[in-house]
Amino acid sequence: MTLIDKEPVQRVQKILREFDTNSEVIVLKSSARTALEAAKSLNCEVGAIIKSLLFKTEQNFTLCLVAGDKKASLNKIKKILNMKDVSMASADDVKNVTGFTIGGVSPIGHSNKIDILIDLSLDRFKELFAAAGHPNCIFKISFENLSKITKGSVKELAE
């Protein structure tokens, strides 16, 4: 079994192909578990790597897509969600809610419906790279198509 055959990667591949028949999951020889590792593997700027960060509120979860060279602002996220109690989700919550393990959380192909916020700072890159269900699997996408495929709301999320 290759990485492309793994179920989480297949979920991402299916959505990519339905969105654009030319889109595909790329398997890297080295890990892209962190934004820095991914940027080194792809020979691109760290900011072009999409970090998928799951936040927990009192009764819900929100996935925030943030540039690899930025830090998500908890205060901005709280204001956008109009919630006082917002925190990073646990590794177990990430797995249960998204269907992915940390290091391979994709912006698409989640096990459950999740509200998505996209950081405006990602707009400065022509090409973006996101995890595709496994730490060694990614896909390339434009900011415009990221907004379309995720149906995410574009907001200022970074500090």
Cβ within 8 Å of residue 7, ≥6 positions away: none
Predicted pLDDT of residue 31: 79
CATH class of the structural domain 3-155: alpha beta
Predicted confidence (pLDDT) at residue 58 exceeds the cutoff of 90:
no
Q: Nearest CA to 137 among 16, 30, 14?
A: 30
Predicted structure pTM score: 0.95
Whether 146 and 119 have beta carbons less than 8 Å apart is answered as no
Predicted pLDDT of residue 1: 76
| Residue 34 banded pLDDT, cuts 50, 70, 90 | confident
> How far is the C-alpha of 138 from the C-alpha of 16, rounded, in Å?
11
Give residue limits of the domains in the chain: 3-155
